Amino acid sequence: MRKLIILMSALLLQKAAVVLGTEAFFLSSQGKRLLGLGYPRRGGVLFFFLLISLLISSASLAIELRDYTIGPQDVLKIEVWDNPDLSREVTVSLKNTISFPLIGEMNVEGCTAEDLQQKIRSRLADGYLVNPQVTVTVKEYNSKKVYVLGEVNKPGYYPFSKVTTMVEIISMAGGLTPDAGQEAYIIRSAEKIDPKEIKQLIQKGGGRDLPSETVINGSATQTASGSGSGASGGLKNQVITLNLNDFNQGINLHFELQNNDTLYIPKAKFFYVVGEVKSPGRFKLEKEINVLQTISMAGGLTPKANERKIKIIRTINGQEHEIKAKMTDPVMPDDIIKVPESFF
């Protein structure tokens, strides 16, 4: 766990330094706090990931969108300084063209906003305006986007640039919520996914883990075999499972998303420990654990605890059942571990 936190903090803080334009960030009091061990232990990796991603999300978004390639159905805002009659909003056609006064139809295929600025400026300067000042911004990103759902602070559609990784998309979506689970599902489909169908797709497809041998770090092409089938080659759906707590050498961290991917981060599973323990409360169920381990997570028993009378309150088919617990009994999602007081 400690190794993972150091890896993620180093990678994300390096990105933060680039975004903020100074290496002095690493020497700042904020940087030192984040690099140190002063973060809360409960919540672990996901809490720390949330903290860092929120720090860089807005600046990171601005940098990533410089590489965004304009495509069909994108809405562009084109402003020509001191020429309000020329300034307007246009929608890119399905043929990757726009129509602009004095110029006529223009092909924008392969252009970024900055490329198109230069193109319009050059055409207007060719006999129409003297030193025209043109600004092009993408108002609506409709041609290339990723849909983010679940336990992020700002779910919705996010623009897709040439290379967009999972950690960057989560940052754009405001970071993870405290209730985020340890798994992320990437659903690839040739068709638009109905959010109501996501859980069914995951259950149907099994959400197989991403084979590590198919992932290549850096800018190389990535392939992944998941459940069902991929969007390419006439195949319909592909479900890929990534473990947010299993960033082996940064592989999952740098996993590259594709246009029209849906990223779904479900809510974590929880259990509860109440009664005579030192730190009662709600805890994330991130792996298989038993009653003894849950008590340890809750700080251990108090001197008043009756160790022989511990019970598991478990809901089965909508009804609560009290089960006499052994320390080796496995704990299930939504279980309540009840430690009573000893009266002797």
Please state, rounded to an integer, the average pLDDT across all residues of the chain.
75
Query: What domains sit in the chain, N to C, each tagged with a CATH number?
Result: 2-66+144-265 (3.10.560.10), 75-140 (3.30.1950.10), 270-339 (3.10.560.10)
Average pLDDT over residues 41-61: 49
Q: How confident is the model at residue 67 (pLDDT cuts 50, 70, 90)?
A: confident
Write out pLDDT tens, residues 151-190: 999 999 888 776 678 888 888 899 889 999 888 889 887 5
CA 222 – CA 224 distance, rounded (Å): 7
Q: What is the pLDDT of residue 240?
A: 87
Q: Which tokens hold the place of 160? A: 């897709």
3-state SS class at 75: strand
Write out pLDDT tens, residues 284-318: 998 899 999 999 999 999 999 999 999 999 999 99
Q: Across the strands, what pairs with 75?
A: 91, 140
Q: What is the pLDDT of residue 244?
A: 79
Helix axes 2-20, 44-64, angle to 10 degrees: 20
Report yes or no: 180 and 194 within 8 Å, Cβ to Cβ. Answer: no
Q: What DSSP string runs through 172-188?
A: HTT-B-TTB-SEEEEEE
Q: How confident is the model at residue 196 (pLDDT cuts 50, 70, 90)?
A: low
Q: Which tokens hold the place of 30? A: 């904020």
Q: Which residue has the tokens 């409960």?
A: 42
Q: What is the pLDDT of residue 273?
A: 97
Average pLDDT over residues 196-218: 45
Q: Which residue has the higher pLDDT, 237 or 323?
A: 323
- H or E element that contains 273: strand 270-275
Measured CA to CA in angstroms, residue 31 lies from 9, 16, 24 at distances of 10, 10, 9
Whether the per-residue pLDDT at 220 is higher than 60: the answer is no
Whether the per-residue pLDDT at 130 is higher than 90: the answer is yes
Q: How confident is the model at residue 1 (pLDDT cuts 50, 70, 90)?
A: very low
- CA torsion through residues 55, 58, 59, 61, sign: positive
Write out pLDDT tens, residues 5-50: 444 455 455 444 444 433 333 333 343 333 333 334 444 554 455 4
Q: What is the pLDDT of residue 182?
A: 84
**Most confident option among 204-208, 215-219, 223-227, 266-270:** 266-270
Q: Which tokens hold the place of 113? A: 């906003």
Q: Across the strands, what pairs with 148?
A: 156, 263
3-state SS class at 9: helix
CA 60 – CA 7 distance, rounded (Å): 19
pTM of the model: 0.62
